[in-house]
Chains A and B, each alone.
Chain A
């Protein structure tokens, strides 16, 4: 079932990428990033059957980094919301030239 797992992982990753590129709600974009991380985790787990236990160990590290990223990212979103009263990226374009 390696090919099926890798295919499912690729489809989920593409859905995540399309979500990041099409949505403007910062929280939903953030959740799309989590979906992409999940897709990569599926690849690691599927390949760990053929390449040894390292894949599953790395999934644990990815989950830890994802948890840290979620905490810091959501704190940033809360901080932005305090200043701008919105999480819509249309209104957060300070860097637009």
Chain B
């Protein structure tokens, strides 16, 4: 794929998935029922996976679907069902006027920061690597190999430390999820 010469077909789908992602994210935040919110969040994640494919990150897109939309959201739905929180509570859980004002204020500040950044110094299309670096990597090593080579060469220490993190997380989840009576024994 040529890097800078995006076709109309490409742009149309990029915008299409972006708009679906934003709409479903807004719907997700405003849903009262946790199950409905989780479903809309999954739609957002699938749209982001589509964007990853268009940004030449096919392996990341597959991981997005498998890990985020698959594993993590299933844990969320599992906990919602386990605690029987699926139905929306009759009293709203949205904060009062103070919380809404605070949220709007913070949101406006963040949007304004983005506006300032676009005016001053967003790194707009300056290639640090070669212009066709990514497509060349994909052509030479394949979608998985292009990610795996730096992962196991330059970032191998971080990769090993990740396994420690996962071990700690498993142990922590088991200990926290245990019933009180068994720890008293």
Contacts and interface: CB of A to CB of B under 8 A. Distances in A.
A8 B55 contact: no
Interface in B52-111: 52, 54-57, 59-60, 63-64, 67-68, 71-72, 75-76, 79-80, 82-83, 85, 89, 93-95, 99-100, 102-104, 106-107, 110-111
B22 interface: yes
B142 interface: no
Nearest to A31: B41
B39 to A, nearest CB: 11
A79 B51 CA distance: 37
Contacts of A70: 72, 75-76
Nearest to A22: B103
A8 B22 CA distance: 8
A2 B125 contact: yes
Given A24-B94, A45-B60, A88-B93, A74 B51 contact: no
A71 interface: yes
A50 B106 contact: no
A60 B57 CA distance: 11
A31 B76 contact: yes
Given A18-B106, A46-B55, A72-B169, A87 B85 contact: yes
A76 B169 CA distance: 12
A28 B37 contact: yes
Contact of A76 (B28, B55, B176): B176
**Interface residue SS majority, chain A:** helix
Given A49-B134, A66-B72, A75-B176, A60 B41 contact: no
- Interface pairs A-B: 8 shortest CB-CB: A68-B169, A21-B103, A75-B176, A19-B29, A75-B173, A24-B93, A71-B173, A75-B177
Given A23-B29, A23-B93, A78-B83, 20 more contacts: A2-B124, A3-B118, A5-B51, A22-B29, A22-B99, A28-B37, A31-B28, A35-B25, A35-B28, A35-B44, A45-B52, A54-B154, A60-B63, A63-B64, A67-B166, A68-B165, A71-B170, A71-B172, A75-B172, A78-B177
Interface of B: 3, 6, 11, 14-15, 18, 21-22, 25-26, 28-29, 34, 37-38, 41, 44-45, 48, 51-52, 54-57, 59-60, 63-64, 67-68, 71-72, 75-76, 79-80, 82-83, 85, 89, 93-95, 99-100, 102-104, 106-107, 110-111, 114, 118, 122-129, 133-134, 137, 146-147, 149-151, 154-155, 158, 162, 165-166, 168-170, 172-174, 176-177, 179-180
12 contacts: A4-B18, A5-B51, A12-B22, A13-B110, A16-B25, A18-B29, A18-B104, A27-B79, A48-B134, A50-B127, A63-B64, A67-B169
